[in-house]
Chains A and B, each alone.
Chain A
Amino acid sequence: MSNKYIGQSVTRLDARDKAMGRIKYTDDMCDKGALVIRVLHSTVANGIVKKIDTEEAEKIPGVVRVFTCFDLEEKHYYPTAGHPWSTDPAHQDIADRLIMTDRPLFYGDDIGAVVAEDEVAAAQAIRVLEKSVEYEELPFVLDAQEAMKEGAPQLHEKYPNNVLAHTEIHMGSVEEAIKEPGLTKVEGWYETQPVQHCHIENFICYAYGEGDRTVVVTSTQIPHIVRRVIGQALGMDWGKFRVIKPYVGGGFGNKQDVLYEPLCAWISIQLGGRLVKLDVPREDTFISNRIRHAIRYHITSWMRPDGSFAARTIKAWCNNGAYSSHGHAIAAKGLNAFPQLYPCDNIDGETWTVYTNRSVAGAMRGYGMPQASYAFECHAEDCARAMKMDPLEFRRKNLMPVGYYHAFSKNELYSDTFNQCFDKGAEIIGYYDKVKKYKNQTGDIRRGIAVSTFWYNTAVYPIALETSSCRIVMNQDGSVQFQLGETEIGQGADTAAAQMIAEELSIPVSMVHPVSCQDTDITPFGTGVYASRGTYTLGFSVRQTAMLLKEKILEAAHQFTRMPVYNLDLIDGKIVRTTDGRELMSIGDLALSKLYTTDGSQHLTAESTYQIKSNAYSFGCCFAEVEVDIPMCRVRLLNIVNVHDCGQVINPLLASGQVHGGQSMGIGYALSEKLMWDEKTGRPLNNNLLDYKLSSFMDHPRLNAAFVENYEPTSAYGTKGLGEPPACPVAPAIRNAIGAATGLYINELPLSPHTLFREFSDAGLINDPWRKEEQGKEGR
């Protein structure tokens, strides 16, 4: 049956309020009288805090209290990752963080906090305190492979050689397979860089006492998990906390970690429940929240003359920064994807997650796949070139075939999704003509076009618990409110859920109201949004709950119409007798009657939890066309098209918005974004929005999103993940397009002027007569 609301570009439910400026984010809700907290950060990359002299700071007018790492009576180490908890200790995240530590492990670690009446006094106090900390400085290490070597500084005793985890995969026998004659070996190192989420609303939370409990209002993706972690961090019952999540100004994974909520709650408690607000300045967001894992790959493939893979090996070193946060999950996801994207019988793969004295890496849109996609697709391009095959044809030949089944995750590729996406994208951008047009150019300014794809799945089954709960309450006029554990952070989860409920109950979307701001005291349990699970996961509990409610509605309808339930249905807000199509009463009349009847009055409501035991492949591709100005070492992105198979699209307008956002993050990842540290001092160099080159309006061409809708059989409404996939294929597509234009295929990100100048000089594309002697392999 054709859908009435699903698949429609329904306007975002909160769009009007946001366009009027009356939407309330955390800072907008906080009372003016709140005290301001500023965190005191370590100014050494590795060390021990011997003493912090707080006397001078405490004298500054306006300073209310100064806390230091020595004020913790008991040290409660806690995990910060936004993962569902597990009763099996082997599955629990590593609990290695303190709200304030006397053992800073990176420049920007939290060693104290100031509470003041306004931000000026707080900043004055911080500047004074920073000069009155006595450290025992220790040597530090910033690179992942360096950190694994003997003699490198050890961050955590329980993890020798700073290796948080090391996993391997083996299939068939590489040793044997490479003995086959006539094989071509292709090898490459691929380097991805640390980047940051840069959501425009910095992390912010405030806390105050209420009865014998503490309320924490915070900008987060995972309110229920935040409550659990605050309890763990403070060594108190989890029920002693109530977490409220107002509208959020972007998260992208940074707010899928528990950041400063525990410290803020603890300070409020120390001050007898006073209202305290902790808002993180942009400079601290860059280094003291979470960043994306920088991963270095070494991939080798042995190709048969017909362009198929005989054997493949992969090694990946994943720089995790100073604390575990999400731990090995990011590296593991990349490794797990390697044998699936380009299946091969003989594969050896291993990956390490390594501690370094750098900002903590956590979840960021793609969760390891943008890095892996860059390595896999650069390597695939290199293999295609080695075999003198058209890159697109090479991919069509080697990519995961239809019907592929992955035993561990029970995922299955039900449709010819790769080819469908390639065809659609090639047609939109005019790929084939442009490939011909741009063959062997010679001028200073050259153009190139290329395509890349990626592997992605939806949600985290079977690696972790996948559950979603929903409550729907019907009002006397037949309209409903619904509550969900899945949080709205700008991706449109509320609107998608409303469309699903409208479809299931057959009432207009205007009668479906989200209770958007989750409150752990009221909202049914849910682990929040991450891993592109939003629409997919909530679909299960929403449909199940809506069906339960419909059952109650039809039973009530039976009471007032005498017709048997199986002859009744709910269509366009009316109770209809299916045998002859007659409309018997409106849903509003029914709801009113059922509530106020003196014979069996009942409030029509339903609530249920659904544990999801399935996953879904969500693939797609990106076509990028670039113009390279070789002398100026600049790349201009002319056109870009992403085609995604995310199953049935619930809301095309919002879905294309998600693709645009992912493309934008991918463009920055490819061309300009990179967090840098001073090798000598371990100090971050560009932790502000001026020196960290986020793409501006003038760095983007028009963005194009297209969809191939293969209904996902395992999904409640045929949907699959779409939040993260668009960020994955863009960087490799741009790299390959630059290669197509200049013949130079660069294995390092970002492809900024610095990188291009060095590579163009080495390759002789740039020859500065005055630099004849110096040109050559400059240090990577």
Chain B
Amino acid sequence: MSKQYKVVHCTVNGKEIEQIVDVRESLTDMLRNDLRLTSVKKGCEVGECGACTVIINGEGFNSCIYLAVWAEGKEIWTLEGLTGPGGELSDIQQAFVDEGAIQCGFCTPGFIMTSWEIVNSGKEYTDDELRKALSGHLCRCTGYENIFRAVKKTMLRHLGKYEEAELVNSQGITEYPEPMPFK
């Protein structure tokens, strides 16, 4: 049986790309193997762990369960695209560094892409909404704590709420309202 190939035209990290792919390739395969964007990681290949998350037309997707041929005409961003031409880190990347949100670093690329979408949405997420927005990623090293801090701080800074951002680290203990008979 002969293999099927197709040319995919899309923009990756702001650059026009024409890439011939085997139609069986996932987008992760194309990004990692054909375009050598190795920041896109493989953790499970079934859309569970989020390590392969990239931004497609402004939304986060698990690229491991997204066919490469579907990228036709799409605008794709990976972590390599967030760093400035001179190596400048975007503020969400810098926050991950400053808040100790990175340990082994394997889930970091996926997390930063979703966080980038959140902080650039201009919306103010409540804590629970923030957890839900980031819940497509699994991490075993950090317990999600410093990632939560990094994203919340950057979101608040984007909204100009600088003092509130500085308070994030001190609100470790949360007082919950009296339990209703049910929520």
> In terms of DSSP, what is the predominant structure of the interface of chain B?
loop
Chain A positions 464 through 478: 1 when the CB is less than 8 Å from some CB of chain B, otherwise 0 = 000000000000000
| Interface residue tally on B, bucketed by range | 35 or more
The reply on B42 being an interface residue by CB < 8 A is: yes
The reply on B126 being an interface residue by CB < 8 A is: no
Chain B residues with Cβ under 8 A from A18's Cβ? 102, 105, 108
Chain B positions 27 through 51: 1 when the CB is less than 8 Å from some CB of chain A, otherwise 0 = 0000011000111011111101101
Chain B positions 87 through 99: 1 when the CB is less than 8 Å from some CB of chain A, otherwise 0 = 1010001101110
Closest Cβ of chain B to A365, distance in Å, is: 10
Stretch at the interface among A20-28, A575-583, A754-762: A20-28
In angstroms, Cα B42 to Cα A429, docked, is: 39
Would A627 and B179 count as touching, CB distance under 8 A? yes
Chain A residues with Cβ under 8 A from B102's Cβ? 12, 15, 18-19
The reply on A146 being an interface residue by CB < 8 A is: no
Would B179 and A247 count as touching, CB distance under 8 A? no
Would A197 and B48 count as touching, CB distance under 8 A? no
With most chain B CB atoms within 10 A of its CB, the pick from A32, A447, A490, A491 is A490
Shortest Cβ distance from A690 into B: residue: B48
- Within the complex, which residue of B45, B104, B128, B181 is in contact with A250, where a contact is CB–CB below 8 Å? B104
Chain A positions 272 through 309: 1 when the CB is less than 8 Å from some CB of chain B, otherwise 0 = 00000000011000000000000000000000000000
Would B39 and A428 count as touching, CB distance under 8 A? no
The reply on B61 being an interface residue by CB < 8 A is: no
Chain A residues with Cβ under 8 A from B105's Cβ? 14, 18, 23, 247, 249, 490
The reply on A114 being an interface residue by CB < 8 A is: no
In B76-116, the 8 Å CB interface with A consists of 78-80, 82-83, 87, 89, 93-94, 96-98, 100, 102-109, 112
Chain B residues with Cβ under 8 A from A491's Cβ? 103
- Within the complex, which residue of B46, B100, B144, B173 is in contact with A429, where a contact is CB–CB below 8 Å? B173
Stretch at the interface among A319-327, A499-507, A659-667: A659-667
In B128-168, the 8 Å CB interface with A consists of 128, 131-132, 134-135, 137-146, 148
Would A446 and B179 count as touching, CB distance under 8 A? yes
Would B144 and A443 count as touching, CB distance under 8 A? no
The reply on A598 being an interface residue by CB < 8 A is: no
Number of interface residues of A (CB under 8 A): 72
Would B96 and A19 count as touching, CB distance under 8 A? yes
Would B97 and A16 count as touching, CB distance under 8 A? yes
With A197-B140, A247-B105 already in contact, the answer to whether A445 and B182 are too (CB < 8 A) is yes
The reply on A753 being an interface residue by CB < 8 A is: no
In angstroms, Cα B24 to Cα A80, docked, is: 37
Would B135 and A703 count as touching, CB distance under 8 A? no
- Within the complex, which residue of A197, A249, A447, A697 is in contact with B106, where a contact is CB–CB below 8 Å? A249
Chain B positions within 8 Å of A, measured between CB atoms, are 24, 32-33, 37-39, 41-46, 48-49, 51, 78-80, 82-83, 87, 89, 93-94, 96-98, 100, 102-109, 112, 128, 131-132, 134-135, 137-146, 148, 171-174, 176, 179-182
